[in-house]
Structure 1
C-alpha cells in the first residue's frame, strides 16, 4: 500500500504542477490563484495546501522542477566533447525556442518580476540563475583555452554578459519585440557565426 500511496502522491503533484504552469502562462503570476489551479487540475484546493503549503510553495516547486530539467539538458550539451562551441551556441539558440514554446521563459520572467517584492521568490530565482552562471563560467573558461584568443573579459564577465543577452532577448520576445527593428533571435545566432569563424582560424 505504501508504494501505491507514494505513486499517487507523485501523480497528484504532477497534475497540480502542470495545471499551475498552464495558469501561470495564460494569466501571469498576478492571475495565478490556488482556485484556478485546482479547477484546472480537477482537484479540491485542499490538495494544493497538502502538497505545497501555499500558492508560493506551489510556484517555487514548479520553477525548481522546470529549471533543474533544463539545467541538466544544458550541462549535457555543453559537456559533449564532440561539439564545437559554435555548434553548442546554435543548440542553445534552438533551446531558447523550445523554452519559449514550453512556457519556461514566461514562468522565469514572471517570477523575476514577482521576486522584486517577494524575498522567497527572489532568492529561489537568484539561486537558479546562479546555477546557470556557474555552468557558463566553466564553458567560458574552457572555450578561452581552446580558442587561444586574448580576451579583455574574465570568465565570470563573459558568463554574466551571455546570461544578460539571453535573459534580455527572452524578455523582449515575450513583449513581441522581435523582428526587423529588434532582431534579437538573429543577433544571438550571429554570435554563433562569429564563433565558427574563430574556430576555423584555429585549424
Structure 2
C-alpha cells in the first residue's frame, strides 16, 4: 500500500514538473521581434498543474476553445501577415494549434506563415501537421533559452540559511530512502 502511495506521489511530482512554464509572454515577444517585424501574436495560457493541462489537451481534441477560435481567425489571414504562437505549456499550445488548423479547414491559406516560439523538437509533430495543410512553419527557440548560450556558473551560497536548507534537504532524502527500503523489504 505504501509503495503505491509513493509511486503516486512520484508520478504527481513528475507531472507537476512537466507542466512548468515553457515560454513567458515577454520571451516570446522578444524572440519574435528579433526575426519578424509584422506579425499577429497569440499567447496560449495553460493551467499550472499537469492533470488540468492533460484535460485541456483532451478537450481541445473534441471541441474548440476561445484561444483556438481566435487563432483560427488569425490563421485565415496568415498569407498576409505571419501568425506567431507561444504558450505556457508545449502540449496545450500544440493542441490549440492543431484545433485551430482543423477548424480553419478549407479557409486555411496554402501559403500562410505560422511561427511557433518553443523548442523545435517539442513542436516537430505539429509542424509536420501544419505543413501538410499548406502552411509554412518556423519554430524558433525562445530568446533566453538558447542552446548556444554560454553556461553560467553559480557559486554555492555560504549563508547560514542556505546551509540549513541544504541540511534539511539531505535529512529528508535520507528519511525517504529509509522508507523506500522498508517498504521494499515488507513487500517481499
- Shorter-normalised TM range: under 0.3
**Comparing both structures, which one devotes a greater share of its residues to strand?**
2
RCO higher in 1 or 2 (8 Å CA, sep ≥ 6)? 2
**Comparing both structures, which one devotes a greater share of its residues to helix?**
1
Q: TM-score normalised to the size of structure 2?
A: 0.27
